[in-house]
Amino acid sequence: MEYIKLEYSGAVATLTINRPKALNALNSAVLSELSAAIDEVSASSARCLIVRGEGTKAFVAGADIAEMSNMTSEQALEFGRLGTAVFKKLERMAIPTIAAVCGYALGGGCELAMACDIRLVSDTAAFAQPETGLGIIPGFGGTQRLPLLVGVSRAKEILFTGRRVKAEEALSIGLCSGVYTVDELFPAAQAMAEKIASFPPNAMRATKLAANQAFAANVDAGISAENRIFAACFDGEEQKQCMDAFLNKKK
């Protein structure tokens, strides 16, 4: 795999999104490899999975804007379906998952972290859903999972303003479970994963399966609607103008 690293330490698997030149942005190739890596971990004897980004600047800076910029609505629908299927597979893994979020978790990166069971973050972490400013909507489940985690009203405020939610605020609103220095974050995630992995595996799987029932049906229906609404954003001019503006700033 080119964009995903998988490592095992005892009963703990660590999956690293490894595309640091683009701040680990998620393109179709990364998503396809992520899907294969989740299958590989599920088939292994790992009892807990840590998800992280390569480097310390970004967990994941979003879906790949360069790839999305010229998509038709049909291609956007397909891209959204790929991403939502992969994130749902991650959410429904039998074993617990921990996102270790160091730095930016923007757009699809915030959505990836929210598809994990638990989020531990660095004191440099910044979450946001800036999609509206790009002429689109969050398309990998963000409109559904953010309200579940932080409540509908606060989620709408974060979605409508696109503002950054820093680590301490993320802790105070329930978006993460712990804040660490950059140096402490990955050891802390490993320690939590080892503790989870030390519990009886059948009881752990049963606990996760039962807890997921609290929201599974609503999230599934909501994500199907999100897919359709997202694709429609690619029919007009707004999305192309906004994405070109982001890409041209770089030239």
Active-site residue list:
111, 131
Stretch that binds ligand DAK, among 6-14, 20-28, 39-47, 198-206 (CB under 6 A): 20-28
- Helix, strand, coil percentages for the chain (3-state, nearest 5): 55, 20, 25
Query: What amino acid occupies position 229?
Result: I
Q: How far apart are CA 233 and CA 244, in angstroms?
A: 15
Interface stretch with ligand DAK, choices 29-37, 62-70, 184-192, 206-214 (CB under 6 A): 62-70
> Would you state the structure tokens that stand for residue 190, as one six-digit string?
């490993």
Interface residue with ligand DAK, options 80, 96, 135, 147 (CB under 6 A)? 80
**Can residue 136 be called a binding residue for ligand DAK (CB under 6 A)?**
yes
CA distance 171 to 150: 10
φ, ψ dihedrals at 137, nearest 5°: -120, 160
Q: Is 87 in the site for ligand DAK (CB under 6 A)?
A: no
Residue 135 interacts with ligand DAK (CB under 6 A): yes or no: no
**CB burial string 189-216: b at 16+ within 10 A, e below:** bbebbeebbeeeeeebeeebeeeeeeee
Q: How far apart are CA 187 and CA 102, in angstroms?
A: 12
d(CA 79, CA 10): 35
Pick the closer one to ligand DAK by CB: 83 or 96: 83
- Least distance to ligand DAK, CB of residue 95, Å: 25
Residue type, 4: I
Per CB under 6 A, which of residues 165..194 are in contact with ligand DAK? Answer: none
CB of 31 to ligand DAK, least distance (A): 9
CB of 242 to ligand DAK, least distance (A): 10
For 72, the enclosing helix (H) or strand (E) is none
Nearest residue (CB) to ligand DAK, 25 versus 48? 25
Answer for which of 54, 139, 158, 180 binds ligand DAK (CB under 6 A) is 139
117 within 8 A of 97, measured Cβ to Cβ: yes
Q: Could you tell me which of 24, 49, 28, 174 has the C-alpha nearest to residue 103?
A: 24
Give the residue, chosen from 7, 9, 66, 209, that forms a contact with ligand DAK under the rule CB under 6 A: 66
Q: Does 101 bind ligand DAK (CB under 6 A)?
A: no
Q: Which of 33, 54, 64, 117 binds ligand DAK (CB under 6 A)?
A: 64
Single out the residue of 4, 50, 62, 242 in contact with ligand DAK (rule: CB under 6 A): 62
**Chain contacts with ligand DAK (rule: CB under 6 A):** 22-23, 25, 61-66, 76, 79-80, 83, 104, 106-108, 130-131, 134, 136, 138-140, 227, 230, 250
